[in-house]
Amino acid sequence: MAYDEGLAEILRGDLADVPGITEKRMFGGIAFLLDGNMLCGVHRDGGMFRVGKENETAALDIEGAGPMQFTGRKMGGLIDVTGDGLADDARRERWMRLAMGFVGGLPPK
């Protein structure tokens, strides 16, 4: 298993009543999309949220968050979170609120 299925189940529970959510295997893990736009996901070492560049500083201020980097390059507007951070209800809710605020404003794909 390339990602923690328990963490994926936590996100599934958080998003169960949100219309327009789909799942897609990406980056060796699983991503949750809102109306076709990547919202959040789980990977081998934790998870990620797409918070948008304007929310990035606020998201990074939450313990357990760091810049998202794939292939050694920082990806603006995306944050990486530890497994412990993703499992923490209060922190996860804050990141999810930021991500929903950003991704919810994007046009559907």
pLDDT digits (tens, 9 = 90+) for 48-103: 999 999 999 999 999 999 999 877 788 899 999 999 999 999 999 999 999 999 99
How many domains does the structure of the chain reveal? 1
* Token code pair at residue 96: 């999810």
pTM of the model: 0.94
CATH, residue 38: 3.90.1150
* Residue 70, pLDDT score: 74
Residue of 74 and 106 predicted with greater confidence: 106
Whether residue 85 lies inside any domain: the answer is: yes
Q: What whole-number distance in Å separates Cα of residue 40 and Cα of residue 34?
A: 9
Whether residue 109 lies inside any domain: the answer is: no
Around 65, how many Cα atoms within 13 Å sit in the side-chain half-sphere? 23
Whether residue 108 lies inside any domain: the answer is: no
Whether residue 87 lies inside any domain: the answer is: yes
Q: What whole-number distance in Å separates Cα of residue 92 and Cα of residue 86?
A: 5
* Token code pair at residue 22: 């789909």
Where in the sequence is the domain holding 12, given as residue range(s)?
5-103
Per-residue DSSP letter, 108 = P
* Token code pair at residue 82: 């530890």
Whether residue 48 lies inside any domain: the answer is: yes
Whether residue 32 lies inside any domain: the answer is: yes
Whether residue 70 lies inside any domain: the answer is: yes
3-class SS shares of the chain: helix, strand, coil, % to 5: 35, 35, 30
